Amino acid sequence: MSKSIFDEMRGMAQGGEIRAPYKALAKWLSANSIEDLKLRQLAAEHIFRKTGITFAVYSNDEAEERIIPFDIIPRIIASQEWQLIESGMKQRVSAINMFLSDIYGKREIMKAGILPDELIYANPQYRLQMTNIKPPHDVWAHICGIDLVRTDANEFFVLEDNARTPSGVSYMLENREAMERLFPNLFVTNKVRAVEQYPDALVAMLRSVAPKSASNDPRVVILTPGPYNSAFYEHSFLADNIGVELVEGSDLFVKDRKVFMRSTEGPQKVDVIYRRVDDDFIDPLMFDPNSMLGLPGLMDAYSAGNVTIVNAPGTGIADDKAIYSYMPEIIKFYTGQEPIIPNVETYRCREPQALKHVLDNLAKLVVKLVDGSGGYGMLVGPTSSKAQIAAFRAQLVAQPERFIAQPTLALSTCPTLTENGLSPRHVDLRPFVLTGTNGVEIVPGGLTRVALTEGSLVVNSSQGGGTKDTWVLEEEKNARGSN
């Protein structure tokens, strides 16, 4: 793995030759002053503020609504690079679905000794209630967001998997809409592939996984915890864009093991629930009895095969970073293939030798909670103080099974507009993968997250990161043929 930093516009060398995917953009940038770009940036921020594109950041038990930071300099991916990403994502998500079906069914991977039993049974995201329950059409993780990082021209790595309730697709779509309003000509000269079809692809997938007992026009709803949830903007955005009802638990009821929605026209049978509520809260009769967010009896209707829950309960175990560390073996076990896009090298702190190595090298490593998310509960050794490292060391020694560690990767950079002009900032990429009865589909793009602070590797919006539009270019032969 290369230690030098790969810049996606200029390659490895500082001030090097512009890479082919960026040549048209670089020419446009050279024709515009930094002052002009800053004015465009302000216009983009005005669009986002007017639209109300927000997320909530929690501190001291209070939530603060913020406009997500957006950078107008796009991240560009060549067609052949996207082909690699697309094939790797399809392979990985297919393996994740087979893995989930197996661990809640025959458990062949555990019988084969690939995974230790306790990693499954003692996992807080493993839902014993799902044992031997088959989701309609045996699809578990219908919507996945897989986080990728790049370290070289031909090196991509999977940083983590998001198979529970992945978020961020609204930002992908809103970023594109803002860029098309501000720079319509750039999309012609760069021949950028569209992402606007995602809502159509999403609703088609949701309808495809309706129970076999559903009508030819299955009713789909999005279940939200409500307006105080950090991702509520996205919940309402998706409901509006795919043309379905946004509901809370109190809008639904169960009768005769079927789910119905209350409406002014009387009860309406619900066939598919795209839930943005965590497992613990979806049904107080099956999970947390104190939950006021879910629907009593939902799991009974689900186990009877009368409603589809997207994603299926229990998929959160695939997000676990200890499970992530076994993904190469999981992919090989279910597909017979090596991973097309590999994992980042990972040390399982639950293993004594790995723990010793991590404790000896804390200042060089990134240490993460196995069930952490959003950039919380993480130590970035090279940028941490001695006191922070000492505090994490104590946690590691006390509960090593709660952590994994990874080398500090030289994440690729992209040009980003800053107060001082264009400067490289580290980025990652979250493509969104849909799985329905018609197979696996990926819209050509994704959410590029950018660490806005110079030198920072933390891209999460909750930790001060921002987003960029992601441009996947058409194949060169198609571009020539269209002239």
Whether the upstream peptide bond of residue 311 has omega within 30° of 0, thus cis, is yes
Whether pLDDT at 123 is above 50: yes
Report the alpha-carbon distance of residue 263 to residue 167 in Å, rounded.
Answer: 28
Distance from the Cα of residue 240 to its chain's centroid? 21
- Please list, residue by residue across 295-329, b when 16 or more beta carbons sit within 10 angstroms of its beta carbon and e when fewer do: bbbbbbbbbeebbbbbbbbbbbbbbbbbbbbbbbe
State how far the alpha carbon of 251 is from the alpha carbons of 246, 248, 449, in Å.
Answer: 9, 5, 35
β-pairing verdict for 466-472 and 70-77: parallel
Whether pLDDT at 59 is above 80: no
Structure tokens at 441: 């589909």
- Of 347, 355, 363, the closest CA to residue 397 belongs to 355
Report the alpha-carbon distance of residue 326 to residue 348 in Å, rounded.
Answer: 10
Least confident window among 63-67, 269-273, 283-287, 329-333: 63-67
- 255-278: pLDDT as tens digits: 999 999 999 999 999 999 999 999
pLDDT at 2: 41
Report the alpha-carbon distance of residue 161 to residue 344 in Å, rounded.
Answer: 12
- Of 471, 480, 440, the closest CA to residue 78 belongs to 471
| Torsion angles phi and psi, residue 360, rounded to 5 | -75, -15
The mean pLDDT value for 225-238 works out to 91
pLDDT at 52: 74
Whether pLDDT at 413 is above 90: yes
- 363-388: pLDDT as tens digits: 999 999 988 765 667 888 888 899 99
**Residues of the chain with pLDDT > 90: what percent?**
80
Fold for the domain defined by 212-306: Rossmann fold (3.40.50)
Report the alpha-carbon distance of residue 23 to residue 201 in Å, rounded.
Answer: 31
- 134-156: pLDDT as tens digits: 999 999 999 999 999 999 988 99
- Of 476, 435, 448, 438, the closest CA to residue 97 belongs to 435
- 386-396: pLDDT as tens digits: 999 999 999 99
Least confident window among 16-20, 318-322, 474-478: 474-478
Q: How far apart are the first and last CA of the chain?
A: 40
What pTM was computed for the model? Answer: 0.92
Report the alpha-carbon distance of residue 258 to residue 56 in Å, rounded.
Answer: 34
